[in-house]
Amino acid sequence: MYILADSGVRGHLTAGRIERNPSGSLTVFNTRGECFEYLCGKRIRSWCVMAPGGKLIDGWREILPKDLSKILE
């Protein structure tokens, strides 16, 4: 689950891979291992990784207080 920085639009990915960069930003890859530039770097302001049951995975989230209700909808 993520919230885009510029628009505040909420979205989610169901497959792929993410990496955390030393700066704290994310690099997102599709299922073929290609970088999904639209969701990389500072383009995401809040994000989390959820287990199949919808539970947030510890250590894999950065959610701003103003985005918490959107993320948990």
Helix or strand (DSSP H, E) at 19? strand 17-20
pTM value is: 0.83
> Tell me, what's the pLDDT at 59?
87
Alpha carbons 45 and 63: distance in angstroms, whole number: 8
> Tell me, what's the pLDDT at 23?
82
Using the predicted structure, report yes or no on whether residue 63 has a pLDDT greater than 90.
Answer: yes
pLDDT, the chain, mean:
90
Q: Is the pLDDT higher at 34 or at 14?
A: 34
Task: Compute how many other C-beta atoms are within 10 angstroms of the C-beta atom of residue 70.
Answer: 16
